[in-house]
Amino acid sequence: MLSLGVNIDHVATVRQARRAVEPDPVAAAVLAELGGADGITAHLREDRRHIQDRDVRLLRQMVRTHLNLEMACTEEMVALALAIQPDYVTLVPERREEVTTEGGLDVAGQQPRITQAVLTLQAAGIPVSLFIDPDAPQLLAAQASGAKFIELHTGRYAEAKGEAQQAQTLTQLENATAKAQALGLRVNAGHGLTYWNVGPIARILGIEELNIGHSIMARAMLVGMERAVREMKEAMFGRLERDGLFKIRSR
């Protein structure tokens, strides 16, 4: 069964805008689980722009589903993950100037460093996922690294202009999923997915989990966290689309 990982970073973004104590992303994670989240995702960035070390430590204690720690492939972050022991780690690219993650990790171009991080983490019992674009060289490099999972970057699909381009990017994701499975990799996906565009991605056979943050957090500000999470799961399986609440729209 396809599962939903809810990314709570933007709750911390609101908190850090005022350097305040609320809203608390740990409380948001609890409510997301009550709404049906199958996992909680948090990205501890090197510049600590949203999620803080304190958040990750408390999330490790409070999360009852599974905790996915997104992080850069650095010695500092590997050491922190070893100390906290999340259920799994997703290695992602980071650039200080970016608003959000702009693309997949260049595993092929950083093979030795990424492979060493994967080996270190997995030797400690922490499975590793690599956030990559749906491109053949990156899939092969991910397999060579020894990672258990990949997370396919769905940004091209989310930003596609018109039905033809959306269909093309969807086919790329379908082909990448099939190739990854043939290589022995387990497949997750995420980035830019919304209530309106998630349906076709959710129907790709072989994808195990979708990680979604911004769209759920934006809706949660209006209708509450539990309802926002429930509605995303319904959108994933087509129930909201059938009810006419969230129709898939092309750009």
CA distance 190 to 203: 14
Q: How many CA atoms lie within 13 A of 37 on its CB side?
A: 30
Question: Does 43 participate in catalysis according to the annotation?
Answer: yes
The structure tokens listed for 215 are 């769209």
Question: Does 70 participate in catalysis according to the annotation?
Answer: yes
Question: H helices then E strands: how many in the chain?
Answer: 12, 8
Residue among 10, 33, 43, 174 flagged as catalytic: 43
Residue among 10, 50, 153, 191 flagged as catalytic: 191
Question: Does 75 participate in catalysis according to the annotation?
Answer: no
What separation in angstroms does the CA of 244 have from each of 14, 135, 174, 207, 251?
Answer: 31, 34, 26, 25, 19
The structure tokens listed for 202 are 């959710």
Determine the residue type at 12: A
Contacts of 8 (CB under 8 A, 6+ apart): 25, 28, 29, 32, 40, 41, 42, 51, 213, 217
Determine the residue type at 160: A
Pair 68, 46: CB distance under 8 Å? no
| Distance from chain centroid for Cα 206 | 16
Residue among 70, 174, 209, 241 flagged as catalytic: 70
The structure tokens listed for 170 are 């969807």
| Distance from chain centroid for Cα 163 | 25
* Residues labelled as active-site residues: 43, 70, 191
